[in-house]
Structure formats: C-alpha cells, structure tokens
Amino acid sequence: MLQFVVSGLAIGAVYGLIGMALAITFYVTRIINFAQGQMMMATVMVTAELYAAGYPTWAAAILGLGCAAVLGVLSYLIAVRPILAFNRFSFGWLVSTLGFAVILENAAAYIWGPTSQAFPSMFEETSFHLFGAVLTGQQLLAISTAAVLTAGFELVRRGTLFGKIGMATAADPEMATAVGVNTTVVAIVAFAASALYAGVAGLLIGPTTFANPYLGDTFGTFGFIAMMIGGGTEKPIAAMFGGLLLGVCAEGANAMINSQASDWFPFIVLVVVLIASPRGLFSAGNLFRSRGRAAAAAEA
Amino acid sequence: METERIEAPRAPSALAGAGFKPRLRTIGVALFVAAYLAATALVARSDLGVQSLVLVAAVFGILAISLDLVAGMLGLYSLGQGGFFAIGAYFTTIVVNSLGWNVFLVLLIVLAVAGVTGLAVGAMSLRVSGLYFAITTFIFTLVLTVLATDLKITGGLQGLLGPAFPDFPGGLEALGTPVAWCVMLALLLCIGFVWSIRQSPLYPVLLSIRDAERFAEAAGARTSLIKIGVFGVSAAMAGGAGWLFSFLGVVSPGQFDWAVSLNILVMVLIGGINTTPGPVIGAAFVSMFPALVNINPWVQEMVYGALSILAVTLLPGGVMSLLKRVAALGGGAASEAEPAVSAFGGTDAPVEAGLFRKFAAGSAGAARAGVPEPEYAVECRGIQFSYGTGLKVLRDVDLAVKRGHIHGLIGPNGSGKSTLANVIAGRLQPLAGATLIKGVRVDGASPSKRAKLGMRRTFQAAELVRELTPIQNVMVGLFDLMPRIIQRAAFWPFLPSGRRDLAWMEGRSREALEMVGAGAWVGRAVGDVPHGVEQLTQLASVCVAGPDIIILDEPATGLSAREVDHLAEILTHLKAQGVTMIIIEHQTRFLFPICDRVTVLNAGEVILTGTADEVRAHPVVRQVYLGE
C-alpha cells in the first residue's frame, strides 16, 4: 500500500513537472505547447549523447538542459509568436506547435535511430527504507526536486517583480503592454523556464526509461493529463498536485488491478475529474471552493 | 391601432430580374457534377496503387469537411474528429466481420452511433467554450485511442483487417471497383451538403453564432442547441468516413490517435478554413504528400512539420485565400465606387417615409388580430440583480413601458441601465422580481424565446459578422420568421421554395437597409464599412423582423451630430408605425425630444419616471446626472 504511494509520488513528480511546464507557457500565452514533451526528450537525448562521449554526468545534464531551453525559446519564436501576432485568439498554434514537435521527434529519430540508448544513472544502488516501503535514491531525488521547483516557481511568481509582470501578462497582455511590460521578453522567459522544467523531468526519469526519441509523446500526454486533472490552466502549481495524484493513481492501478492498468486507468481518472469539475481539482473556482466568483468573472 | 400588415414570408416581392444568376449557377453545378463523375470512373478503373492513394485522400476530404463544418462555421475547433472516425471504422469492422450484417445497414447504425456520441460530447464540452472545447474533444480522442489499444475486441496495436465491400450486381462490373464509387460519391455528397448550407440563410446565422452569439440569440436562434446539433452532424460525418475507411485495409489505433485529429485541422487550415473546396484541397495535399516526395520517412515527417508551421504562419487563410487574391488581381478593377464616407454614406435625402410602412410593428410576425393589445408593452416589477454574490446592481426596480411609446432610460455610468436591458431581454436572470412582455410573464425565458414574442434589441458595441455583407447580417434578423431554415439548409439551393424564400429574405433585408439609409453599402463586408453604417446595419437587422418592441442600447454612441439627427428621424418614423422602444442613451439632447417617458436610474434604483420636461426639471436629476 505505502509502496505504491511512494513510487506513485516519485513518478507523479515527473508528470507534475511536465504538467507545470505546459501550464507555465499556457499561463502567459494561453496556448498549449504540444512540443513540450519533445523538450524533455531533447534533454534526455543530448545528455545521453554527451555522457557517451565522455563528459561527466553533471556537465552532460547541464548542457542537455541548456539545449532544451534554446529549443523552448525557438518554439516560441517560430511556432507561437507569428500566430499570436496575427490574431491573439486564433487556433493556428494547435497546428504549428504540433509541427514543431513532429520536427524535433523525427530529427532525433533521424540522428540517433529509433532504439533506446543508455542513460547515466545518478544514485546507483542507494535505497532507503521507510515504514516498510523502499525508496530508491532516484525516487527521493525526483520528489525533492519537484518540491523545490514547485516552491521556487510560486515564490518567483508571488514575490518578485518579474513574477508580477508575468501575472499581469497572463491576465491581459494588451493592458500589460500598455503599462510598459515587454510581453515578448516575458513569453521568452516563460518558454525557456518551461523547457527547463520539462528537461529536469527528463533527467529524473531518464535512468528508468533510457534515452528514446519517442519519449516525448508518452510523457507529453501524461503531463497534459496532470495539468488537466490539477487545473493547471488556471494555476500552474495545481498541475504539480495533479501530477502527484496521477502518479499515485497509475501506480495504484498497477498494484491493485493488473500490470497494464496504468496504460488506461489515468484516462478514466481524467474523464471523471473533468465531468465532476471541468476546471480541475486544485484550481480556484472548483467543486470545493466557491463557484460564485468564477460565474461573475465569466459574465463580466 | 391601424397598422398595415404585409403578408409575410409568403410574398415573393423581389424576384424580378433574379432569374439569370441561378440559371448560370445550375449550369455550373451540372458541369461540376459531370466532371466529377467522369473523374470517379477514371479512378474506379485505374490500378490499385492510384486508387488507394485517391480513396484515402477522399476519406480524409470528408473528415476535413466535417471539421470545417464546426471549426469554420461555428468556431468550434474539434480535436475529436479522429475519435468519431475511429468509432465508425472499428464499429463497422467488428460488426461486419463477426455478425456479417449488410454494410449499408451498418452505415446507418454507424451514422446514428457517431452522431449521438457527438451530441453527448458536444453537450458536455460546450458547457465550457473556446479552448476548453478543443481540450475536451482532444481528451475524447485520447481515451478512444487508449481503449482501441487496450481492449481485446479491437485487436490491440496490430488492429483488425477491415471487411470487404460488396461487389456490383451483374452488368455493372464495367464501372470498375465498387468501393471507389462509394467513397467518391460520399465525398460528393458531403461537398454538396456544405455547399448547400453556404447558399442557405442558415449560413449567416451560423457565422453570427461564431462571431456574435448574443446577436444570434437576440434574433431568436437557440444557439447552444444549434451548436450541439451541428457538432452531432459533423460527428456523424466523421463516423461515416470511418465506415468508408474500414473497407480500405487494416484498422489500427495509430490511424486515429490525437495526431490524426490535428492533421485533419492542418488539412483544413492549409486548404482554407470556412471555404467549400479548401478542406478537400488540403486533405488531398496532406494525405498524398508522403507518396509525392518519397524520401527517408523521418526527413519526410520533418518536412511535413515545417510545411504545416509555414502554412499557418505565412498563409493563415490557406490555399483558397491565395487563389482568391490571384483571381482578384486577374479580375482587376471591377470594384464598386466608394460611397461617400460622410454621414451614413451621404444619405442627405430625407428618410423615405413610405418604406417604413413595410416594417410596422408585427408586420412580419404571425397575425395577432382580434387579441386585445395590453396597455403595457414591457413591465418590470421589483427587479433585483447582482453579479455573483457582490453588490446589488439593481434594487427593486419598477419600469412600465406603454405600448407605442419611446421610453428613455438614463443614468450615470454603472447605474444599471445595460443590466436592466439585459434582464428585460432575457440575457440575465434577476434574483427577484417579475418581467412581463405584452402582459405575459416571461421570468426565466431565454433571449430567443423572448425574441419570438416580437422583441428585438441592439448592442452597445455592434455585434455583427464582419466578414459578411450588411444584407447577410440583416438576414440573421429574419431567422425566426422563416420556417424550417435548419431542416432545409442541407439542400436549400435545390428546393424551389428555398430559392423563393431566399430571394424574399434578401429583398426584405435590402429594403430594411434602404429604409435606415444604408442602402449604398450593401455590397461590401461589414468589416469595411464606417462605424455609423455598422450601427445602421444593426438597427436594420432589428427592424427587418417588424418587431413590436425594440431595446436600443446607446444607439448614438460614436455617431456624428448629423448621423444622430438621421437616427432620431428613423426612430420617429418607426414610432409612427406603432413600434415600442426602450432607449438607453447618454445624449439627452438626442433622447429627450423623441421620448414619451424617461426613467432615471442611479446606483441601481429608479429615481424618477416622467416626461422629458419633468425629468429635466427634477432637482436630483440635475444634480446627479445633468451636472448642474
């Protein structure tokens, strides 16, 4: 029982980080970056490649993250900005961010081939015993990293001027521009940061999954589910809670139903959550808090 | 009151000289169908490689049309088309392979199942609009793909081999492969279906639901029902495409996943959204692309990704917008002369009084002769309203508007005027109090239901479809007067009654525009006309229905002094025809001379109701509103 909760939290932390990555860009630009999973994949591939070439693990990881950040900014400049500049409410980004994902995924498959490659593990053979459950060093690292990054995001958002500028841009980009905010810079920073979050998720899960060009698809989808369950479209940190819940549900399904159940059980959770509370479980305006405010906002 | 009642929707008044263009169109349609059938015969007799290429493209053509039906006309970006497609394909394969039912019977069941699923998904996801609709339908496709992969009956990742299509009966073998005919005819049917809708008066209504939902609602359209219904049709169409697809080979989860749904959107956007040929062109290009370039599959995918980014960033209107621009260059200088941009296109001529008789109160509605007309057109009793749980915006408001009166509603910004108008029109439901229209209690009735009682309204910021002409916009106002628009839309141009009714609607809309003095602007899109003409178009779209009651929300905002005089003249003429009006306005110089009664609101309370002179003389009004 406790075992699947613990391992669920560990994998859920990874889903949550990708969910937060999706939510951060959504927060600032109101678009969903379908290439987010591919940022994670790129980090994993580049790190594995550099490690194989003889770099120390930490250097390979940092360069891999840097690569993801660059790709994140490129995805904004190439696939998002031109469309929002033409019409802020158009849906062309559905197509262009998917196009960007297709390019990244197939470029990786072209360069490295479709098979998996070795990925450096960070805490070999370390494990802790906790009330009868076993927690590997890697899992502990995942949970603690996710906690630090989630808290860090919230601190920056609430406590710094840049965070407030981000909130202003999220609420009304035109108004933010009018008071002197450079929304392009805000968006670039948001896309770089979200790519970093996705990249960190990749580093945390890489030792388990190994490096594969198609990683982005699966984890992108689960990150998306995490965001929707949690309600990350309204509040990015809600995506992390959604991810943790999702991880526990998936591991729980594996333990209780059968070993394939984690393939489909999360989708059932998602559908049930969305029917009960379309805005997600941990956002404002959900089932457990007042609906009045949301209704008033919708009418105004 | 004596008003001349025009025998409406039946009388074809504007048919003279309208015979030429339809005949030309008939010839065009006949030529297109003949060429299409000839091409089909060619495909049906060609070798299997070419056939499968063309047929897969045609199936995706149907899918792209089904998406364009909701995305182009209603602005609902569905990512669920892949899911409905999967329902059709798997259902057909499983039922035909295991039970051996007749494939055409299965088609009917597939259409029904996909359609009903579409209605259910639509009803659920339209609670949340816009982006959330895309997300919910996306999740729908995700879930179906997971089911298809993990269930035993669907054959897992390998999928199932689709059933065989029945052969032609004896004597017809010379026509070639039967499934080719079936696919191509289905595509033709779908093209004809959306083409007919675009020719019908439903088209401007759908576009107004997309761009100006409140306008469509106020014209009597039940917008949520229409949205869900059209989405159901689109889902059935995608299910039908799945039925066709199952005869073309293997059915497996990878052919229906969310990337396929997005590819269908790529097709629509590349070809040209909200055009009839665009989706088909896009589908042909995208599905034939791999066969045409024939390079390393990974490089080919990368090129495809790059092309789709380029298409949506550099060519948002798709191939069709490019073609239109080329055609415009070739067609050259046939553009009409620009009407003068002075007041309402230079309508200095006195307003033509005769035209107004056609638009008298109740002129186009059902005959209500014999029923005693109540004294009050609109009554509000003790209306209370607040947004959310906040401050009361309306506190115990009473309002009584006599039939045939022009009733002014004034008050400082934030005094609750527009809120009261929204309560009367049915957009907002009050917390307490009663609303009566013509003596009938209408508490809880929707805006479209109140529109049917002969009430129309305008909006402070004009709500119109900017890509349509003023005539098409005004036609939206006739929606609830013309019977069976929705039922007939699928084959409108092929019905004699459709052609006759459309001509009548166009004629009446043109007259309404002439009546308000915007007759010079009928030819161009609303997005290209000056602000004043936009306001007049809004007014015409209200008058065209011959309503008994009109609510005007700040009609004079942004108009020049001369335009305001013109507006006052129009309203006076309307009043002479027995129309009751409630006018919210800040410009008392415009409002007071035409008003019978004026109600002053302040901070959600009625200060006073009286004649213009009484209001002008009242000390509190002078203090809080007139600023003296």
- How does pLDDT run across B130-161, given as a tens digit for each residue? 777 888 888 899 889 888 888 888 887 888 88
What 3-state class would DSSP assign to B398? Answer: strand
Query: By the CB < 8 Å criterion, does A208 face chain B?
Result: no
User: Is the ipTM here above 0.85?
Assistant: no
Q: How far is B265 from chain A, CA to nearest CA, in Å? A: 7
**Given an 8 Å threshold on Cβ–Cβ distance, is B312 in contact with A101?**
no
Closest alpha carbon to B19 in B499, B495, B508: B499
Rg value, chain A, Cα:
19
Cα–Cα distance measured from residue A33 to residue A101, given in angstroms and rounded to the nearest whole number? 9
DSSP, res B399: E
Residue B54 above 90 pLDDT? Answer: yes
Burial class (CB in 10 A: 0-12, 13-18, 19+), B143: middle
- pLDDT tens for B400-433 read 999 889 999 988 888 888 899 999 998 888 988 8
Dihedral pair phi/psi, residue A126, rounded to 5° = -85, 135
Beta carbons within 8 Å of A245's beta carbon, 6+ residues apart? A12, A229, A230, A269, A281
* B390 inside 8 A of chain A by CB: yes
CA B322 to chain CA centroid, nearest Å: 25
DSSP A76: I
**B256 and B85 in contact (C-beta within 8 Å)?**
yes
Contact residues, chain A, for B71 at CB < 8 Å: 91
Spatial CB neighbours of B91, under 8 Å, sequence gap ≥ 6:
B106, B109, B110, B113, B239, B242, B243
Of B146, B305, B387, nearest to A99 by CB-CB distance is: B305
Asked if pLDDT for residue B495 goes beyond 80, the answer is: yes
Chain A residues close to B142, C-beta within 8 Å: 221, 267
Quick one: angle between helices A236-256 and A2-29, nearest 10? Answer: 150
Q: Which residue has the tokens 């407030």?
A: A164
Of B142, B298, B309, the CB nearest to A99: B309
CA B207 to chain centre: 3
* Two tokens, residue B550: 């009109």
Tell me which chain A residues have a C-beta less than 8 angstroms from the C-beta of B428: 299
Amino acid making up residue A281: L
Which amino acid appears at position B40 of this protein?
T
Helices marked H in A160-182? 161-171, 173-178
Q: Which tokens sit at A288?
A: 């457990």
Q: Which residues contact B313 (CB under 8 A, 6 or more apart)?
A: A78, A79, A82, A83, A86, A92, A96
Check residue B221 and report its DSSP letter.
Answer: -
Map out the domains of chain A with their CATH numbers.
2-299 (1.10.3470)
> Which candidate, A35, A9, A8, places its Cα nearest to that of A22?
A35
pLDDT digit string, tens, across residues B308-332: 888 888 887 888 888 888 888 776 5
The residue in chain B having the minimum alpha-carbon distance to the alpha carbon of residue A292 is: B388
Is the confidence at residue A173, as pLDDT, over 90?
Answer: no
- Return the pLDDT at B255: 85
Other C-beta atoms within 10 Å of B190: how many? 23
Residue-wise burial string across B481-519, b where 16 or more C-beta atoms lie within 10 A, e elsewhere = bbeebbebbeebbeeeebbebbbbbbbbbbbbbbbbbbb
> Residue written as tokens 């008392």?
B588
Contact B142 A100 (CB under 8 A): no
Residue B1: other Cβ atoms inside 10 A? 10
Count of CB atoms within 10 A of residue A159's CB?
10
Looking at the complex, report in whole angstroms how far the Cα of residue A122 sits from the nearest Cα belonging to chain B.
32
Rounded Cα distance between A237 and A240, Å, is 5
Judge: B305–A292 Cβ closer than 8 Å, yes or no: no
User: Kind and range of the H or E element at A89?
Assistant: none
**Does residue B11 register a pLDDT over 60?**
no
Out of B262, B302, B306, the one facing A94 most closely (by C-beta) is B262
Whether A47 contacts A119, CB under 8 Å: yes
Q: Which residues, in sequence order, are CB contacts of B595 under 8 Å at separation 6+?
A: B406, B407, B408, B583, B611, B612
Split at pLDDT 50, 70, 90, the class of B4 is: very low
Question: By the CB < 8 Å criterion, does A274 face chain B?
Answer: yes
**From the candidates B312, B314, B429, which should be mutated to test the interface with A, based on the most A CB atoms within 10 A?**
B312
pLDDT in tens, A225-258: 999 998 888 888 899 999 999 999 988 888 888 7
Task: Inspect the interface and report whether the beta carbons of A92 and B269 lie closer than 8 Å.
Answer: yes
pLDDT tier at B8 (50, 70, 90 boundaries)? very low
Rounded CA-CA distance A221/A202 in Å is 14
Q: What's the token pair of residue B414?
A: 């934030």
Which pair of structure tokens corresponds to residue B78? 């569905």
Is the pLDDT assigned to residue A193 strictly greater than 50? yes
Sheet of B597-602, strand order: B455-457, B549-553, B580-584, B406-410, B597-602, B605-610
Residues of A in contact with B265 (CB under 8 A): 91, 94-95
Residue of B nearest to A228 (CA): B135
Enumerate residues 6+ apart whose C-beta is below 8 A from B171.
Answer: none
Nearest CA to A93 out of A112, A104, A80 is that of A80
pLDDT of residue B128: 63
Question: Which of B79, B124, B305 has the CB atom closest to A102's CB atom?
Answer: B305
Mean pLDDT of B111-116: 96
| The token pair that represents B598 in the structure block | 């004026």
- Give the pLDDT band of residue B628 (cuts 50, 70, 90): low
Percent with pLDDT over 70 in chain A: 91
The 10s digit of each residue's pLDDT in B574-618 is 898 889 999 998 888 888 899 999 999 888 889 889 898 888 888
Q: Is the dihedral of CA A121, A124, A127, A133 positive or negative?
A: positive
- Relative orientation angle of helices A36-52 and A183-209, to the nearest 10 degrees: 60
Which among A90, A110, A292 is the nearest to B389, CB-wise? A292
CB pairs under 8 A between A and B: 121
- Report whether pLDDT(B555) > 80: yes
Is A102 close to B128, i.e. CB distance below 8 A?
A: no
Q: Which residue has the tokens 């029945």?
A: B166
CA distance B430 to B421: 11
Q: Characterize the bridge pairing of strands B406-410 and B597-602.
A: parallel
Nearest to A102 among B131, B136, B301 (CB): B301
B259: chain A residues, CB-CB within 8 Å = 98
Choose between B385 and A292: higher pLDDT.
Answer: B385
- Of these ranges, A26-30, B388-392, B504-508, the one predicted with the greatest mean pLDDT is B504-508
Q: Work out the pLDDT band at B165, boundaries 50, 70, 90.
A: confident
pLDDT attached to residue B16: 39
Out of A83, A95, A103, the one facing B266 most closely (by C-beta) is A95
Q: Cα B123 to chain center, whole Å?
A: 18
Q: Name the more confident of A77 and B360.
A: A77
Q: What angle do CA B238, B242, B246 make, to 5 degrees?
A: 170
Express as a percent the part of chain B with pLDDT over 70: 89
Identify whether the C-beta of residue A230 lies closer than 8 Å to the C-beta of residue A283: yes
The tokens for A47 are 């790190």
Answer whether B298 sits within 8 Å of A82, measured CB to CB. no
Encoded tokens for B278: 């665009």
What pLDDT, on a 0 to 100 scale, did the predictor assign at position B361?
A: 65
Confidence of residue A189 (pLDDT cuts 50, 70, 90): very high
Closest CB to B388: pick one of A94, A95, A296: A296
Pairing of strands B406-410, B580-584: parallel
Please tell me which residue, B196 or B154, carries the higher pLDDT value.
B196
Region label for B380, one of left (φ > 0), alpha (ψ between -120 and 50) or beta (otherwise):
beta
Q: What type of residue sits at position B531?
A: H
Region B333-339: mean pLDDT is: 47
Q: What pLDDT score does B1 carry? A: 36
Residues with Cβ within 8 Å of residue B520, at least 6 apart in sequence: B339, B345, B346, B347
Say which DSSP state A124 is in: T
Degrees to nearest 5, angle at CA A186 with B136 and A151: 75
Calpha distance A32→A93 (Å, rounded)? 8
Average of pLDDT values for B42-55? 89
For residue B626, what pLDDT is reported? 62
Mean pLDDT over A74-78 rounds to 94
Q: Which amino acid is at B488?
A: R
Rounded Cα distance between B369 and B409, Å, is 31
Considering only CB atoms, which chain B residues are within 8 Å of A79? 309, 313
* Predicted confidence band of residue A28 (pLDDT cuts 50, 70, 90): confident
Cα angle: B428, vertex B434, B437; to 5 degrees: 85
Q: Tell whether A80 lies on the interface with B, counting CB pairs under 8 A.
A: no
* Sign of torsion over alpha carbons B226, B228, B229, B233: positive
DSSP string across A238-281: HHHHHHHHHHHHHHHHHHHT-TTGGGTHHHHHHHHHHHH-TT-S
Residues from chain B contacting residue A110 (CB–CB below 8 Å): 296, 298-299, 302
Put simply, the chain A residues between 213 and 272 with a CB less than 8 A from any chain B CB are: 221, 228, 260, 263-264, 267, 270-271
Domains, chain B, in order of start with CATH, read 45-164+175-326 (1.10.3470.10), 349-365+454-594 (3.40.50.300), 374-453+596-628 (3.40.50.300)
Residue pair B251/B90 in contact by the 8 Å Cβ criterion: yes
Q: Out of A118-127, B180-189, B328-337, B338-347, give the one with best mean pLDDT.
A: B180-189
- Are B55 and B179 contacting, i.e. CB atoms less than 8 angstroms apart? yes
Confidence of residue A124 (pLDDT cuts 50, 70, 90): low
pLDDT digits (tens, 9 = 90+) for B264-296: 998 998 898 899 999 999 999 988 888 877 778
Which residues in chain A touch residue B314, judged by CB atoms under 8 angstroms apart? Answer: 82
Q: What is the mean pLDDT of chain B?
A: 84
3-state helix, strand, coil in chain B (%, to 5): 60, 10, 30
Cα–Cα distance measured from residue A137 to residue A141, given in angstroms and rounded to the nearest whole number = 6
Q: With CB atoms and an 8 Å threshold, state whether A263 touches B259.
A: no
- Whether residue B79 lies within 8 A of chain A, CB to CB, comes out as yes
Q: Coil, strand or helix: which one is B197? A: helix
Q: Confirm whether pTM is higher than 0.80.
A: yes
Residue A21 token pair: 């990555």
**Strands in B460-514 per DSSP E:** none
Q: Is A98 on the interface with B (CB under 8 A)?
A: yes
Find, in chain B, the residue whose alpha carbon is nearest to that of A31: B131
* Length in residues, chain B: 628
Other residues' Cβ atoms within 10 Å of the Cβ of residue A214 = 15
In chain A, the residue whose alpha carbon lies closest to the alpha carbon of B258 is A221
Contact between B30 and B515 under an 8 Å Cβ cutoff? The reply is: no
Identify which of A91, A101, A293 has the shortest CB distance to residue B388: A293
